Amino acid sequence: MFDSKMYQEVFSSLHASEDTLDQVMKKAVRTGKMRRRLFPAFVVLLTLAISGAVFSGSARKSHGAWVFHGSRKEIEKMGVYCPEQLGPYRIDEQSADSFHMVSAGAGSLKAFFRPDYTWMSVSYEKNSRQSLSLSLGTMDHPLWADASGYDLENDIWNGRLYPETLTWYDEAQGSVSYVDHITEHTYQNCTIYLYDRITEYAGSADPAPPLTDYRDACAVWTDPEIGVWFGISPFCAVWEMDGDSYTYIREDEGVTKEEMLGYVKEIIDGCR
């Protein structure tokens, strides 16, 4: 006979660590603030890091496309810059116009290099929802692309937007989404999600005026034909570091949703 009373007595002695709640609140505050404050800097760092790797002799043009022949070690250098964002991965296979990266425990992502895209970055983040972002872009274009959308429950990459995970922490309001006004569009069999990203920037005047919320049109979509998930967002600011915090000075007005949709269509057409 199972002694349920004794069983309960045994397991009532198990408790979560005393600092669990403190840790949760710290993480909630830290990730919320960091996401809002560090996102553009994070993109810059990763991009510089990886474009360095790409141009250090390991990238070449072939059949009209950029091919990356980086060693695992070279790619691992990326982790030096953003060790928390980069996770375990391996290069799965290479072909003339792409290589495959597989993140541990997740789906595979095929990264393409095209003549138009002179650099690439990949980040891998593991927090409340795993997400992998792939950046494709041109050095002279204020568009930065990243792909996200890992469906934890179904264990697949689907390119969808998860606004509930895109939040920052406000001491007065708590967790606040920085994504707003999501609209859906269809083009060439791709479902495109356009949205406003709300970011806090300082103006470019000197002395800098108070931080202001700006809305920028961004987009994410998945292209089922080539098996790549994309996201693009305008990069309109430079960042200044002051101790541990960053301030963004807005220098560009970004793009409208209509313009953004036009860029998305260009990329879809260009990648096929």
Binding residues vs another protein (CB under 8 A): 2-4, 6-11, 13-17, 20-21, 23-24, 27-28, 88, 104-105, 127-128, 152-153, 164-165, 167, 174-175, 177
Q: Tokens representing 6?
A: 């004794």
Closest distance of CB 95 from another protein, Å: 26
CA distance 193 to 252: 23
Closest distance of CB 181 from another protein, Å: 16
Identify which of residues 96 and 182 has a Cβ nearer to another protein in the complex.
Answer: 182
Closest distance of CB 24 from another protein, Å: 5
Identify which of residues 15 and 73 has a Cβ nearer to another protein in the complex.
Answer: 15
Closest distance of CB 15 from another protein, Å: 5
Closest by CA to 271, choosing from 30, 64, 7, 41, is: 64
Identify which of residues 31 and 118 has a Cβ nearer to another protein in the complex.
Answer: 31
Furthest-apart CA atoms within the chain: distance in Å: 78
Closest distance of CB 88 from another protein, Å: 6
Q: Answer yes or no: are the C-beta atoms of 108 and 143 closer than 8 Å.
A: no
Identify which of residues 2 and 63 has a Cβ nearer to another protein in the complex.
Answer: 2
Q: Tokens representing 102?
A: 């597989």
Closest distance of CB 127 from another protein, Å: 8
Identify which of residues 61 and 181 has a Cβ nearer to another protein in the complex.
Answer: 181
Residues 6+ away with beta carbon under 8 Å from 119: 47, 50, 51, 54, 55, 135, 137, 138, 139
Closest distance of CB 164 from another protein, Å: 5
Residue 168, beta-bridge partner list: 176
Identify which of residues 119 and 169 has a Cβ nearer to another protein in the complex.
Answer: 169
Identify which of residues 17 and 186 has a Cβ nearer to another protein in the complex.
Answer: 17
SS3 at position 74:
helix
Beta strands, E only, the chain = 59-62, 65-68, 89-95, 98-103, 108-112, 119-125, 131-137, 143-145, 150-151, 156-157, 167-170, 174-177, 179-187, 190-201, 212-223, 228-234, 237-242, 245-250
